[in-house]
Structure 1
Amino acid sequence: MSLETWAGEDGVHLLYADLDLMEVAALRRALGLPTTGVETDADLVLAAVRRWGAEAADRLGGAFAFAVWDGRQQAVVAHRDPVGLRPLVYAHRPGQIVLGGDVRAVLTDPAVPDALDEDMLAAVFLDPLFQPETVGRTALRAVACLKGGHRLTVDADGAREDRTWSPEAFPRLPFRRVEEIGEALRAVLREVTAEAIADAPPGTVGTHLSSGLDSSAVTAFAAEALAERGLASPTAYSWLPAPVGPPEVDQAAVAATAERWGLPLVWAPPTADDILATLTGDATREPHVMHAPNAATLREAEVRGTRLLLSGWGGDEAASFSGRRLVTPHLLRTGRWGPVAERALRDPVEVLRRLRTYRAARRVSGPEPSFDALREGALRGEQDTFARVEWLRQATFPTLAPPPSDPHGYAAWLLRRGHLGARAGSWALTGAEVGIRTRYPLLDRRVLAVALGVPAEAWATRDRLRRRPFREALAGLVPDAVRLGGKREPSWNATLLRAQADALRRVGPMLTPAAVADRATFVDVDRLRAAVRALPVAPTPWEVVSLDGIRYLGIGALLRR
């Protein structure tokens, strides 16, 4: 789109929108509209921008990515929700801007070059867990990704981004007891989950259900809300395999939560075909983050008429945040000895064990190595990589912000890191293909305000249990075997590892220079193929993950030809 097309135009005009707003009644009241009405989410966004201008995104709840022409600024202005639950990528050159939900949409403009970003690919092959979206990039040099909680402004002076959301700014709330926090979390989760399913037709709600606290919580609150309205229970979809014989501990936990609420339970583990489809796709263009594990769920949900899935994704970062071993050292550093002394008197062995564990972890792991450090290790032969040496030497890597050492800062860092939006954005795109939305109650801003408003000592281990406030919120809703237990996933880990190994062995013969084409310039295909062939019968998770970069090679293009 040319900026000249809009130059001199007054008013506010919607150019792009991917919207799934929450807190709509409150927004309507703030806009002076009746509580209910015929206005769409797009109408409300336009009204908000006209009313509040640059501050409009602060007034919006839920998931959104949108762009408007704002005549007051003579600029295109784009926003993405705080966590990045809806994707937005763009290509900018002087006087031009192209916007879309993913790289494929932006590339429909023939003026956008499709040259690969060699630096991002080098980063992926050095650290297979790295996602370019987390640093506002994609695998194409000309296409950028607007990060969650950021604003893009494009005018005659160029394009610039600025951060509009700071989770560090959530005020501390006057909680004194863990039980109070549990009650507050329970109340806000009830409110948010009930609203999340309020517009779904009866019988069309489903939930992701694993053996963990987060998905169990969302499932329980959804089942409770539907029961109060006299509606059918949600269908629970689990990535775990169906038990054969006595269930594993994770299968038993899933079954217990489903039985507690009388839920239909669908076992939908990912298959080797699902993983093969991801490996032979093209992650430089297509949504791919956690695509394979969710593929079976989408298939099953589509045939059963589920149109809204609720996920517990993101709970670890805030609602059920564990403190990540940072609480006791932080309290000691800041002179807040009281909570530590109280715990030490109650359970001195546990406090000492926690401190030793923290120190040992810091000694062994230390800070995560930078990409430059990984590169140096690779050049010395100490770091496995399939990137060609000459390519690695000239790559310019992103600088990643290190995590803070205080628990509140760490939680905020996790929320801003970008990995939450990378998965949610990918699922939004793949779900839209089959008419299924996914919502994330634990990442609702009302839940985050409570979760990040607690005092640091609330995250301390108590009675040898972490995440105590969240566990308190689930009393009576989630079976105690799940609520008070730890998360172990033997059946999930074994099933996923088998499927991944099977898919990798099938993809091995496809790894030819012809299939990789011009990307062989960057990757040592012979070495990569040899690593796949040498994969043990029972590989370790890291042996499998280290080969994840295959998905960026686009080898399926040859097969489709």
Structure 2
Amino acid sequence: MCGIVGFTSNGHDPAAAKRTAQAMADLIRHRGPDGEGYYADTRAALGHRRLSIIDIDGGGQPMFNEDGALVVVFNGEIYNYRALRTRLQRLGHRFATDSDTEVLLHGYEAWGTALPRRLRGMFAFALWDRRTGTLFCARDLFGIKPLYYYQRGRQLLFASEIKALLAHPAFEKKLNEARLPDWLSMEYLPDSETLFAGVYELPPAHTLLWQDGRLTTARYAAPQFRPRPGSLRHYAGAIGDALADSAAAHRIADVPVGCFLSGGVDSSLVVRETARNQPAVQCFAVGYAEQAYSELPAARAAAAALGVPLHETTVTAADFFAANRAIQWYLDEPMPNPAEVPLYFLCRAARQHVKVVLSGEGADELFGGYPLYQQAVWAGRWQAVPRALRRALAGLLPGCGFLRRGALPRWQRAARANYVFETTQERDKYLLRSYGAPAPARRCKPYFDAVRHLDEPTAVQWVDMQTWLPRDILRKADRMSMAHGLELRVPFLDRRVLAVALALPRRLRCTGRRGKPALRAAAACRLPGRLAEAPKRGFPVPLADWLRQDETYARVRAKLTGPVAARFFDTAALCALLDAHRAGTTNAMTKIWAFYCFIEWYELYFEEKIPPVL
């Protein structure tokens, strides 16, 4: 796991270009504290910050092929690199290292732009072909590892994190203000744009090709749900086998490996599979003094049942708010999901003991774990009722959200939009100006249009895998772990596990009353006690309670009435929202935290000298 940067231009000075690449890489040195390397010629420059995990002595980057015509920088891990290495050796390729990075060079020589389809792992890489003047980049199937790019004229800049672009003289830092309403509704932008004007995120399962000033992106894989008949017992076995195989692959490392453990079924399964081959694997959990929100009791019970040691971390309100400034810096774009804060502390604690952790992200999206999917089951059944009757009932009971949403098209009723605000009218009353932004669900319509043929809960799952998973779940997992030089691996997000998930009949992914039945059946065969039925908790945070305390209230109010708030928002409306929350007449935690995080992020990136003092 590392950080990569680079750029292309026509006729730059290699020495100066190398210095620029180093300045870019310095801004993401937290991703690779173990080493650095740079390459530059007259047309391109590449930089790399290394976190040494595999082939510690021989895996330095940038890495070259035998004749030096190809050079690559790479962030991630290729878990099938040994099998690919053997195949390439049979084709006549010679390897100089035992690093998975070298497989990318010889793989590109053998298979060209088809290379990413053969890779099993998490990755973002950039490969420069000096002979053809071609830059080829690719991102993994799920979007576990990030990659951003920025084009200005015939120059192309790229980096693992947006902040690295700030060090390049061609980069013009500007807020993509037109997308502020979308972000405010959804906590992220559901497409390739970012809150920095002109900066784009390469989507998951995509490649980027740059040659002669022309940029082309293409999708190299498009997984589809294709349910196949099978019993619960059959699929429970298939899931267990696939996860065991994936966990074994994800343990490949030349450094100590640990696990996150929340006490839920997903993390417990990952720990169990890891502990089978690594007894007494070190596990890590985070919680709060407020017991109602803390997952530490559940984590302790799971650790005891699995027979593994547990390291506990407790986060206070003071810790929470003090860390948010640094967290927004590491995130690149503001993210008001409070779960990122305990994750930040969990990663910091784990890094004191191990360099790699395995975690349970992705299980809910692949196997149907969110209540949203169960609601979609009922919504799908409701659509079978004649439309006239549905409209009539919605008119008789206008206060019933289920009936009201049931009268809407699927892309409106099912999208994970309006996450922060129920309506655009409610959102827009806090904005100082009108942006003419569409309803946030409209941004998700293209995704739902692409899967009209799927039943409703399956369509919602698919859309989540394209939007929510890479842009929220995996983004905060990558940034919070890399902030501490910790490699976080996600065994559920693996090609073989995905193949089983895509074949599951819908009834084995979710029902109207139960999530993840097949995964829980697999867990029942493998986990001790009642761990397989552990309820889904998410990442609960006592923020709503803290916002009602005097000290926290004053801190937040000062931010909501400051100069940045006054530039974008109706500060009187923000204060009224905060006061209503404090009085207990409403729970506006998510909305308040969204405004607070945006303001703090904007101060960091647009009001202060970069890099900030954290």
Q: Same fold (TM over 0.5)?
A: yes
Alpha-carbon spacing, 1:22–1:171, altered in 2? closer, same or farther (3 Å): farther
Determine which of 313, 316, 319 is the counterpart of 1:271. 316
Matches within 5 A, 1:280-295: 280=325, 283=328, 286-287=331-332, 289=335, 290-295=339-344
Could you say which residue in structure 1 is the equivalent of 2:276?
224
Q: CA deviation at 1:91?
A: 0.8
Write the distance in 2 (CA, Å) between the matches of 1:239 and 1:286: 20
Q: Is the 8 A contact 1:19 1:41 kept in 2?
A: no
Deviations 1:136-174 (A, max 9, x none): 122110211111111222223532322222111x6655x
Could you say which residue in structure 1 is the equivalent of 2:350?
301
Aligned residue identity for 1:311: S
Deviations 1:146-203 (A, max 9, x none): 11111222223532322222111x6655x521101111111111111122123253xx
Could you say which residue in structure 1 is the equivalent of 2:597?
551
Determine which of 70, 77, 80 is the counterpart of 1:13. 70
Q: Secondary structure at the match of 2:413?
A: coil
Q: CA deviation at 1:418?
A: 5.0
Aligned residue identity for 1:258: A
Aligned residue identity for 1:297: L
Could you say which residue in structure 1 is the equivalent of 2:157?
98
Write the distance in 2 (CA, Å) between the matches of 1:266 and 1:538: 36
Alpha-carbon spacing, 1:377–1:210, altered in 2? closer, same or farther (3 Å): closer
Determine which of 467, 476, 491 is the counterpart of 1:417. 467
Q: Is the 8 A contact 1:189 1:442 kept in 2?
A: yes
Could you say which residue in structure 1 is the equivalent of 2:211?
155
Q: Is the 8 A contact 1:308 1:438 kept in 2?
A: yes
Q: Secondary structure at the match of 2:258?
A: strand
Determine which of 515, 530, 533 is the counterpart of 1:484. 533
Q: CA deviation at 1:78?
A: 1.3
Q: Is the 8 A contact 2:364 2:516 kept in 1?
A: no
Matches within 5 A, 1:42-191: 42-70=101-129, 74-125=133-184, 127=185, 129-132=186-189, 134-156=190-212, 158-168=214-224, 172=227, 175-191=229-245
Aligned residues: 515
Deviations 1:314-351 (A, max 9, x none): 111114557545568879999xxxxxxxxxxxxxxxxx
Alpha-carbon spacing, 1:110–1:358, altered in 2? closer, same or farther (3 Å): same
Could you say which residue in structure 1 is the equivalent of 2:17?
none
Aligned residue identity for 1:522: F
Aligned residue identity for 1:439: R
Write the distance in 1 (CA, Å) between the matches of 2:258 and 2:300: 15
Alignment of 1:535 onto 2:589: no
Could you say which residue in structure 1 is the equivalent of 2:498?
448
Deviations 1:233-269 (A, max 9, x none): 222x22333686xx99965532322111222223334
Write the distance in 2 (CA, Å) between the matches of 1:39 and 1:190: 25
Tell me how large the CA RMSD over aligned residues is: 4.1
Q: CA deviation at 1:283?
A: 4.5
Q: CA deviation at 1:297?
A: 0.6
Could you say which residue in structure 2 is the equivalent of 1:345?
none
Q: Is the 8 A contact 2:366 2:501 kept in 1?
A: yes
Could you say which residue in structure 1 is the equivalent of 2:258?
206
Segments of structure 2 that go 5 or more residues without pairing to the other structure are: 1-6, 12-40, 45-66, 385-399
Q: Is the 8 A contact 1:242 1:251 kept in 2?
A: no
Segments of structure 1 that go 5 or more residues without pairing to the other structure are: 335-355
Q: CA deviation at 1:209?
A: 2.0
Write the distance in 2 (CA, Å) between the matches of 1:495 and 1:137: 32
Write the distance in 2 (CA, Å) between the matches of 1:361 and 1:196: 42
Could you say which residue in structure 1 is the equivalent of 2:60?
none
Could you say which residue in structure 1 is the equivalent of 2:396?
none
Q: CA deviation at 1:388?
A: 1.1
Q: Secondary structure at the match of 1:119?
A: helix
Matches within 5 A, 1:320-399: 321=369, 324=374, 362=406, 367=413, 378=424, 382-383=426-427, 385-390=429-434, 392-393=435-436, 399=443
Deviations 1:439-458 (A, max 9, x none): 00111111101111123343
Q: CA deviation at 1:66?
A: 1.1
Q: Secondary structure at the match of 1:263?
A: coil
Q: Is the 8 A contact 2:361 2:492 kept in 1?
A: yes
Deviations 1:221-241 (A, max 9, x none): 2222313xxxx3222x22333
Q: Secondary structure at the match of 2:278?
A: helix
Bigger RCO (CA 8 Å, 6+ sep): 1
Q: Is the 8 A contact 1:212 1:482 kept in 2?
A: yes
Q: Secondary structure at the match of 1:167?
A: coil
